[in-house]
């Protein structure tokens, strides 16, 4: 099947860029967006074609993606991630039965939704003949890049903030990347990666600094639409650092609407941040288009600890166009929600995923989401990668067992 990419477009000026060439940011220093010949796609592709696809996971949406040659599609066994209701917890915060639904991205390769964006970015790097990729990361993006790059036979260099969870750093290194700790935050890691593009010759895969991670994250929106029978939920809560997924889903919904595959209202997009790092929330509340650097960023949800985002205006645009909002939650609420959902519904979230549930609880309490509205809560990674409380209770096999303790 032929590819449908027509050109690339600067997200702030609208200037066209030629497809089929290696691109980073636009001349204005802003993200480039991939544009498609949607009329031709609409004429060639049907929903039945998507349903009949035998490609793994998000590769079933290949007509909506830029990787033209199937031989360049790097795969680690992707799956369609499940929608899991959390009714017991939902009832405790005022949601109607069936209204609070987690989309569990932790089932993807490397255990996070970063697999989507990095699979596309690495596949396009292969299509362009690149051989050395570099990325700054708070953990999961680096793991995904390392895995897909090594799968493709490419060299991978990853820079992590000093306090990145140790399990993430070990995972990145174990999967073959040259891995470094940096005494700074992710934006400072990004500065070092950007500074090495000419002297080292690596290609920078930083969030939104190349066009194709958005296209990978876009598949979350395509997948949701298919799972909902080509309709959409009422509201989406998304853990927002660099915001690629929120931007990508909004792009997916626009494309699906343009080819006539969905109708009716689009979901309200809720950008969820932590109170200790909430630049998007600050800009949203101030009515601004751009978010300044957040000083002294700190939160237990390391994946959304992004002090400045190159796509800030795209996040804010999607939030406002959708009738959504940006909201920050406290670390204490994140941890309490994580514990509550694990204990009541048996689903182990990561801290960033728990932040979306905490935001949903707040939305219900404040009345800006109704109890019966279908809310998708994105759990962006498996909770198994994060610290958990130790187990202190013990039983002595050589002593009489006091069975009353189990009653």
Please indicate, yes or no, if residue 390 is contained in any of the structural domains.
no
In this structure, what CATH number is given to the domain that contains residue 262?
Answer: 3.40.50.1100
Which residue range(s) make up the domain with 308?
83-111+214-385
- What would the pLDDT profile of 175-218 be if each residue is shown by its tens digit? 999 999 999 999 999 999 999 999 999 999 998 899 999 999 99
pLDDT in the model for residue 165: 86
pLDDT for the residue 78: 97
Q: What is the pLDDT of residue 133?
A: 97
Among the listed residues 210, 171, 236, the one whose alpha carbon sits nearest the alpha carbon of residue 384? 171
* Confidence class for position 2, pLDDT limits 50, 70, 90: low
Alpha helices in 28-80 (DSSP H): 38-44, 47-52
- The answer to whether 259 and 138 have CB atoms below 8 angstroms apart is no
Segment 244-256 shows an average pLDDT of: 97
260 within domain boundaries? yes
- Asked whether residue 299 is domain-assigned, the answer is yes
Give the pTM: 0.94
Q: Does 229 fall in a domain? A: yes
Q: Are strands 5-10 and 16-17 parallel, antiparallel or unpaired?
A: antiparallel
Q: What is the mean pLDDT of residues 304-326?
A: 96
Dist CA 246 CA 378 (whole Å) = 10
**CA–CA dist 407, 41 (Å, integer):** 62
Would 235 be classed as within a structural domain? yes
| Residue-level pLDDT at 205 | 94
Average pLDDT over residues 301-312: 93
> What does the pLDDT look like over 349-369, one tens digit per residue?
999 999 999 999 999 999 999
Tokens of 264: 């009716």
Q: What whole-number percentage of the chain has pLDDT above 90?
A: 95
Average pLDDT over residues 284-298: 95
Is 234 within the bounds of a domain? yes
Tokens for 217?
Answer: 């994250």
**Residue 253 pLDDT:** 98
219 vs 290: CA distance, rounded Å: 26
Contact 66, 5 (CB under 8 A): yes
Give the per-residue pLDDT at 126. 97
13 exposure class (CB count in 10 Å sphere: 0-12, 13-18, 19+): exposed
Chain mean position to CA 256: 20
> How crowded is residue 72: how many other Cβ atoms within 10 Å of its Cβ?
15
Per-residue pLDDT at 28: 94
Sheet of 132-136: strand order equals 178-182, 155-161, 132-136, 203-204
Q: Looking only at Cα atoms, what is the longest distance across the chain?
A: 78
**DSSP state letter for 263:** -
> Would you state the pLDDT for residue 1?
44
Mean pLDDT over 282-307 rounds to 95
Q: Are 144 and 118 in contact (CB under 8 A)?
A: yes
Across all residues in the chain, what is the average pLDDT?
96
Residue 184 lies in a domain: no
SS3 228: coil
- Number of structural domains in the chain: 1
pLDDT tens-place string over residues 333-350: 999 999 999 999 999 999
Cα 165 from Cα 147, distance rounded (Å)? 18
Nearest to 301 by CA among 338, 341, 347: 338
The pLDDT tens digits for 123-177 are 999 999 999 999 999 999 999 999 999 999 999 999 999 989 899 999 999 999 9
Q: Sheet harboring 32-36: ordered strands across?
A: 16-17, 5-10, 32-36
Q: Count of CB atoms within 10 A of residue 341's CB?
A: 27
| Cβ-based burial of 71 (10 A; exposed 0-12, middle 13-18, buried ≥19) | exposed
């Amino acid at each position: 099947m032929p590819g449908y990419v027509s050109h690339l477009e600067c997200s702030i000026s609208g200037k066209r860029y030629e497809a089929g060439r290696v691109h980073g940011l636009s001349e204005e220093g802003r993200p480039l967006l991939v544009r498609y010949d949607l009329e031709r796609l609409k004429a060639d592709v049907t929903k039945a074609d998507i349903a009949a696809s035998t490609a793994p996971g998000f590769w079933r949406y290949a007509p909506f993606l830029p990787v033209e040659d199937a031989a360049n599609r790097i795969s680690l066994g992707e799956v369609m991630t499940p929608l899991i209701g959390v009714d017991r917890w939902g009832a405790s915060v005022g949601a109607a039965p069936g209204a609070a639904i987690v989309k569990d991205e932790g089932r993807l390769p490397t255990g996070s939704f970063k697999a989507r964006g990095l699979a596309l970015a690495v596949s396009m790097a292969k299509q362009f003949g690149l051989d050395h990729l570099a990325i700054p990361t708070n953990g999961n993006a680096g793991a995904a890049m390392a895995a897909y790059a090594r799968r493709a036979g490419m060299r991978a260099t990853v820079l992590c903030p000093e306090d990145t969870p140790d399990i993430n750093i070990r995972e990145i290194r174990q999967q073959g990347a040259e891995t470094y700790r940096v005494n700074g935050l992710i934006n400072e890691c990004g500065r070092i990666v950007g500074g090495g593009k000419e002297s080292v010759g690596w290609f920078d895969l930083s969030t939104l600094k190349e066009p194709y991670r958005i296209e990978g994250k876009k598949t979350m929106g395509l997948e949701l639409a298919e799972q909902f029978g080509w309709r959409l939920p009422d509201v989406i809560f998304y853990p927002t650092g660099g915001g690629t997924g929120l931007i990508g889903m909004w792009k997916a919904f626009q494309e699906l609407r343009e080819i006539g595959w969905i109708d009716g209202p689009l979901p309200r997009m809720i950008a969820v941040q932590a109170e200790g790092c909430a630049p998007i929330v600050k800009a949203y509340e101030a009515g601004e288009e751009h978010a300044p650097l957040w000083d002294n960023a700190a939160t237990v949800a390391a994946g959304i600890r992004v002090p400045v985002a190159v796509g800030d205006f795209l996040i804010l645009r999607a939030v406002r166009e959708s009738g959504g909002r940006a909201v920050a939650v406290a670390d204490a609420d994140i941890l309490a929600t994580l514990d509550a959902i694990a204990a009541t519904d048996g689903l182990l979230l990561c801290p960033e995923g728990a932040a979306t549930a905490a935001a949903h609880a707040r939305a219900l309490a404040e009345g800006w989401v109704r109890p019966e509205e279908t809310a998708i809560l994105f759990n962006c990674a498996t909770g198994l990668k994060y610290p958990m409380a130790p187990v202190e209770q013990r039983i002595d096999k050589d002593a009489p067992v006091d069975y009353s303790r189990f009653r």
